[in-house]
Amino acid sequence: MNPQLLEILPSELKFVFEVKKDISCGGHLTNVTEQYVAFKVKTTSPKKYGVRPNRGIVKPNSTCDFTVTKKAEKNAPPEMLCKDKFLIQSTVVPFGTTEEEIVPSMFVKESKKYVEETKIRVVLTSAPDSSQKLPCLGILKKEASRDTLSQKLNKKVGGTKMACNTESISAKIFPTKDEESKQVNDVELTKLLLPDDVEELKLKLSVLHFKLAKAECSIMTLLEENMRTVHEKETLRAELAISRKGWWKKCSSWFSSTICLHGHAD
């Protein structure tokens, strides 16, 4: 059984579909080997998608990102069903291979050559309806009374100056029936919008985690290279010192023998 070459995330390409708008989704490749690995991204519908980069080199224990962009469509597919798929091919290449040296023949399966293939399907989801984002403010307002809020504020503040302002505060949050249709508290509105943005925040957070992991991998690689360079320098210094010591011994022996010969001649 051949070992895994690349760890690919996510397992599905999820697009939030919007009519007449390009939409993008990111992918993440991690080389879990000690070899140079070349990759290529293919799709069943090349006219509908753009991939950047669609090929590249992932160095040992390193990562690489790619972005898939779905071109704008005039109409949403029935029931948001999509049969499009992507295929990611990867194979081991000689150490030091560059992206410019990648050729299609690298991904042709041969008897002695292993080409890893991973299929990823496309999933479409509908964009959230803004008209359904906000629950009825009137229901929320009926859950508390002006007097209850005033008591809580007085208890927390504990001072006469702030306590005297509780009526005006509660009046802003709980307007009268005549003003209820005209006033919406900005703070309440912001709090109500936050839960609907959780998915977007999670996505941004996952991207940040991914970039952090990528940066950590790069730092580890640089540290390992630096340690390797220092070790090589120390080894060379030690070898040079040994060589010098041997050379001085030879020179000393030669000088000694020469002096002895001259002494006997005299």
Q: State how far the Cα of 164 lies from the Cα of 159, in Å rounded to an integer.
A: 9
Residue 83: the pLDDT is 93
- Chain-wide mean pLDDT for the chain? 76
Q: Is the pLDDT of residue 1 over 90?
A: no
Residue 222: the pLDDT is 80
3-state helix, strand, coil in the chain (%, to 5): 45, 25, 30
End-to-end CA distance of the chain: 81
Residue 232: the pLDDT is 82
Q: Is the pLDDT of residue 265 over 70?
A: no
Confidence band (pLDDT; 50, 70, 90) for 211? confident
> 34-82, pLDDT tens digit by residue?
999 999 999 999 999 999 999 999 999 999 999 999 999 999 899 899 9
Tokens 């999670």 -> residue: 202
> 94-147, pLDDT tens digit by residue?
999 999 999 999 999 887 889 999 999 999 998 776 444 444 444 444 444 455
Nearest to 69 by CA among 15, 24, 33: 24
Confidence band (pLDDT; 50, 70, 90) for 264? low
Residue 50: the pLDDT is 96
